[in-house]
Amino acid sequence: MTMATSSHLYAQSADLVLCDRLAADPADPDKPADVKGVAEIAKGDVATAIKFCRTASGGSRRALYQLGRALAANGQGADAVAAWRKAADKGSSSAMVELGVMYGTGAGVARDEPQARKLLERAAEAGNPRGISNLAALSGGGGAPSDPVRARALLAKGAESNAEAQYQLGMMLSEGLGGAKDDVAARALFEKAAAQNHAGALERMGAFAQAGRGGAADKTVAKSYYEKAAALGDDDAKAALKRLECPYVLKDKRGNVVSNLCF
């Protein structure tokens, strides 16, 4: 009996490992630190992810959330919603975000803004950065958070361990939203997120190093950060690199930038 139970637990653990490998969300706070995650589940991995995540989902809310991701990638929207609802009931803040976005936009379910707000608030209170940013978008029409003080406090919870929260809180500190402006603290947060290969944070570190905001100015270091961000697809970093290489700017009569000149 003991051996059977032990074997069952090992099988469950192996299923979860494979579920994580194929379907983990890089931004999920439930994701173990040693699991990289995938922004999108590869088409060839979808069926396998559904198989292993379904088996692992009996004992893991993370696997339930990841099962929802795999089902959604397979075009099984209703099944994905069902999995996310179960995961959200078990406390998965990422599942709450997925459902909140769906209710907020009416994608796949009837639009229900009060329900969207309720789910995103739960995710935000749990420290989920995507919950905070989507709640801000729902409240403020995609601009600044309608309650920046509260948003800043919520982000501070997530910033203890999450790169996206570190980046977003750094942005608020650098702009003085929801409290005092603090370039030194913002730079420290960007540096933490950049160390985790967060593209936006890498770009901001480049900008701060170039301008000497919150610390020493160093164009060589700035270029290095820009290059890393650009390699991850950040358009602002690509533009910054072009400006570094071609510092002379042509403007039209209205002062709009037309192009950069290289010599």
pLDDT tens digit sequence for 3-58: 444 444 444 489 999 999 999 999 899 999 899 899 999 999 999 999 999 999 99
Question: pTM of the prediction?
Answer: 0.63
Q: In the chain, what is the greatest distance between 2 CA atoms, to the nearest angstrom?
A: 83
Question: Which of 18-32, 61-75, 144-158, 248-262 bottoms out in mean pLDDT, i.e. has the lowest?
Answer: 248-262
Q: Closest by alpha carbon to 29, among 112, 96, 83?
A: 96
Q: CA distances (Å), 183 to each of 120, 190, 205, 207, in order? A: 29, 10, 11, 12
- Please say if the pLDDT value at position 73 is more than 80: yes
28 closest CA partner among 1, 77, 63: 63
Q: What is the mean pLDDT of residues 67-84?
A: 97
The predicted structure's pLDDT at residue 2 = 43
Burial grade of 66 (CB within 10 A; 0-12, 13-18, 19 or more): buried
The pLDDT, as a whole number, for residue 112 is: 93
Q: For the beta carbon of residue 175, count every other beta carbon within 10 angstroms.
A: 12
On the question of pLDDT at 251 being above 80, the answer is no
CA 98-168-124 angle, 5° bins: 40
